[in-house]
Structure 1
Amino acid sequence: MTQVIAPDWAPMTAEEREQFDRDGYLVIRSVLDSTEIEMARDAILRFREKAVGTGTLHQLSAVTACPELAFLVDHPRAFRYIWSLLGWNIHVYHSHVDVHPRIHEKKPDWWHWHQDGGRQNRELETDPRPRMSVKLAYWLSDVSETGRGNFTILPGSHKTNWLPGPPKRDVPWPAPVGATQITANAGDLVVFDRRLWHARSDNYSPITRVGAFFGYSYRWVAGRDETAGLNLDALTPVQRQLLGHCGDGSGDHAWGHYPETTPLYGELKRNGALDGSIPALIP
C-alpha cells in the first residue's frame, strides 16, 4: 500500500531539533487524519482477532503482519523527523503493533523501564551511548487521560546510560522521579530517541489501547523484522528500502557507498532536502 498523501520534504525545524536533543522525544499532534486512523486501527484489530481473539497483542514485524500499515513507514508528517535525524541510509530495523484491552485486576509488580536496542546497551561502551535509532509511536486509540496504558517516559534520560532500579524485575519498586505518562489523542505521534528510558503503563480503563511502532536505524545495523513474503509491487521504492528491499545493491552492502542506488537519497536530492550542515544529510 502506498502513501495516503503526497510527501512533504520539509525537514524538522531547528526548534524541534533542539527540543528533541534536550528532551529525547517530541509529541506531534494530529499526524493521522480520521480515515488513516480507522484504516490502521481496523487492520491491527483484524489481525488481533485472528491471532489472539480478544486478548493482548504484541506482534513484531508490523507491515508483514498487517500489510495495510505500509503507509505508516514513510508517512510524510511523521517520516520527516526520521530522515532529518538519521539521514537517507536507513531502514526499519524493528517494528510492532500492540493491543492492550482493559485489565480488571491489578497485575503483579514488574519493572518495565528500559531503553530500546537490547545488546546495544551492553556492548556500546561510550557514555552516553550513541543514538543509533529513532522510533515513531502512532496512537490509534484515545490515551488522552492517564491510566489507559499510556506510554511513560523519563524526559531527558536519553543521555543517561543507567537508571536505578530493583535487583529483580518482579520486586516492587517506585517509578523513577520525574516519570511522565504521555497523553495523546488517536492520530497523534510520539517521536523518541531509542535511549530514552520508557515503559508501558497498565490499562485499567474501558478503552482498548492500540498503537503501531516503527524503529529506524542505519542500514548497516541488522534488522529484527521478518519481511519475507511482502508484496513488493504494492510498495513505493522508498518503502521497499525501509522494509529491507533496497535497489540492486551494486556492491553497496548497505554501507551507503553508492547513494544513487538508495531510493531515499534520490528523493531527498530531487526535493532539495540534502543539507551539508547535517552529517547524515551531506550530499
Structure 2
Amino acid sequence: METTALPFRLTDDERRHFNEQGYLIVEDALNREQVARLTALTDTVHEKKLAAGFDPHTALFYPNFIPDAPEFADLVDYEKILPKVWGILGWNIYLYHAHLIVTPPSGKPRDNKTFGWHQDSGRVNQEMESHPRPRLSLKVAYFLSDTSEEGRGNFWIIPGSHLDDTLTLPENREGQPAGAIPVKVKPGTAVFFDRRLWHTASPNWSEITRKILFYGYGYRWIRTKDDMTVQDLWPHSDPIRKQLLGYGTNCNGFYSPTDDDVPLRVWLREHSPDEAR
C-alpha cells in the first residue's frame, strides 16, 4: 500500500450517504485501459465456459475468479477503492467473496414481473437477533459494460432499505417495490453497497452483454462464501494484500488480531492514525 491511496479515503459526505442510503457510486474508478483489459479477461473466462458447454443464453455467475489473472488480484487492494472500504468497515477485513457476472441479451420481450429482490448473506438474515440487522460486509461492483440506460440487465436497489429487515413485494408479483431504482452507470464505475441493502439483478432486454466484477469485503471472522482458492497468491503478495486474501497467523488471530495478522492496521497507524483505532 502506497501513500498515494490516502487522497481516496472516505469523505464525510460519502460516509453520510453510505450510512443513510446504503450505497455509494464512484465514477471513473477504472480508466479506459483498465476497463479494456478487465473486459478482455472477463471475455476469456466466459469463452472458456462456453467452450465447456455453458449455455450462451444464460447469465454466468463465476465465483473465485481472483486467481485467474493478476489484474483481478490487483483490484483486491486497489488504491482508489480500498481506502473507502476500510473507511466503512475498519481494518480487520478481508475479501470473503468475489464473483464475476456476464449477462448476455435475453432475447425476450420486456415484461413487468417482479425481480428477485434480496439481502445478501443467506442464513445470517434469519439467525442474527438484532434490528436492524448488522452490516457485517459490503460489496464493490466494478461495471465493465455500459448500463447507463435502463433495460441493460441493470443492478436495481432501494435506497435506504438497508435499515429494513423486511420488504413488501407488489401483489401478484407485478412491478417493483416502492422506492426501487435502476443503477445507471457507465463503464469504469464502482458501486459500493451494504450487504443489507435490498437489491436485485434484472433481465437484459438490450443487445449489450452486461459484465460486472463483484468484490465482497467483510470482517476476518466471517467465513468465506465461496471456495476462495487464493492461498497460492500469498507468497507473491505484499502484507496488506495477503491479509485481504485471508491470511492469518492462527485461528484466534481472526478474532483477536495481532499486528502480524492485520498489517493494514500497522500501516494506518503510521499514515492515518485516526483510522487505526
Helix, strand or coil: the match of 1:258?
coil
Shift of 1:234: 3.4
Following superposition of structure 1 onto structure 2, how do residues 1-283 of structure 1 map, counting pairs within 5 Å? 7-10=4-7, 11-53=9-51, 54-55=56-57, 56-106=59-109, 109=113, 111-165=115-169, 172-228=173-229, 230-246=232-248, 248-249=249-250, 252-271=252-271, 273-275=272-274, 281-283=275-277
Check whether the contact 1:9–1:268 (CA below 8 A) recurs between aligned residues. Answer: no
Distance 2:226 2:96 in 1: 6
Tell me by how many angstroms 1:92 deviates.
Answer: 0.9
CA deviations on 1:53-99 (whole Å, 9 max, x unpaired) are: 54531101130344430111111111111100111111111110000
Shift of 1:230: 3.2
1:107 shift after superposition: 8.2
Q: Alignment length, in residue pairs?
A: 269
- Give the drift of 1:149: 0.7
Q: 1:204 to 1:77 in 2, by over 3 A?
A: same
The Cα shift of 1:235 comes to 2.5
Q: Is the 8 A contact 2:107 2:205 kept in 1?
A: yes
| Structure 1, unpaired ranges of 5+ | 276-280
| Corresponding residue SS for 1:224 | coil
Aligned-partner SS, 1:73: coil
Deviates more, 1:68-77 or 1:183-192: 68-77
Shift of 1:237: 2.0
Letter in 2 for 1:133: S
State the percentage of identical aligned residues: 36
Mapped to 2, the partners of 1:101 and 1:6 lie a distance apart of 40
Q: Secondary structure at the match of 2:139?
A: strand
Query: Are the structure 2 counterparts of residues 139 and 9 from structure 1 closer, same or farther at C-alpha, using a change threshold of 3 Å?
Result: same
* Amino acid aligned to 1:212: L
C-alpha distance in 1, partners of 2:63/2:4?
A: 26
Name stretches of at least 5 consecutive residues in structure 2 with no aligned partner.
none
Distance 2:4 2:121 in 1: 29
Contact 1:149 1:209 in 2 (8 A): yes
How far did 1:269 drift? 2.0
- Cα distance change, pair 234–37 in 1 and its aligned pair in 2 (3 A): farther
Cα distance, 1:166 vs. partner? 6.8
Relative to total residues, which structure has the larger helix share, 1 or 2? 2
- Inter-partner Cα distance in structure 2 for 1:66 and 1:256: 32
Q: Is this contact kept in 2: 1:89–1:256, CA < 8 A?
A: no
> TM-score, normalised to structure 2's length?
0.89
CA distance in 2, matches of 1:94, 1:27: 20
User: 8 Å contact 1:96–1:212 — kept in the other structure?
Assistant: yes
Query: Aligned with 1:58: secondary structure?
Result: strand
CA contact (8 A) 1:81 1:191 kept: no
* Aligned residue identity for 1:52: L
Which segment is superposed worse, 150-159 or 39-48? 39-48
Give, in whole Å, the separation in 1 of the partners of 2:235 and 2:257: 26
Alpha-carbon contact 2:137-2:195 (below 8 Å) kept? yes
CA 225–237 in structure 1, closer or farther in 2 if over 3 Å, else same: farther
Distance of 2:261 and 2:164 partners within structure 1: 37
- Pairwise CA distance, 1:263: 1.9
Residues 22-62 of structure 1: per-residue CA shift (max 9 Å, x gap): 11111111000111111211111101110135453110113
Shift of 1:274: 3.1
State the secondary structure of the residue aligned to 1:122: helix
Q: Give the CA deviation at 1:7.
A: 4.3
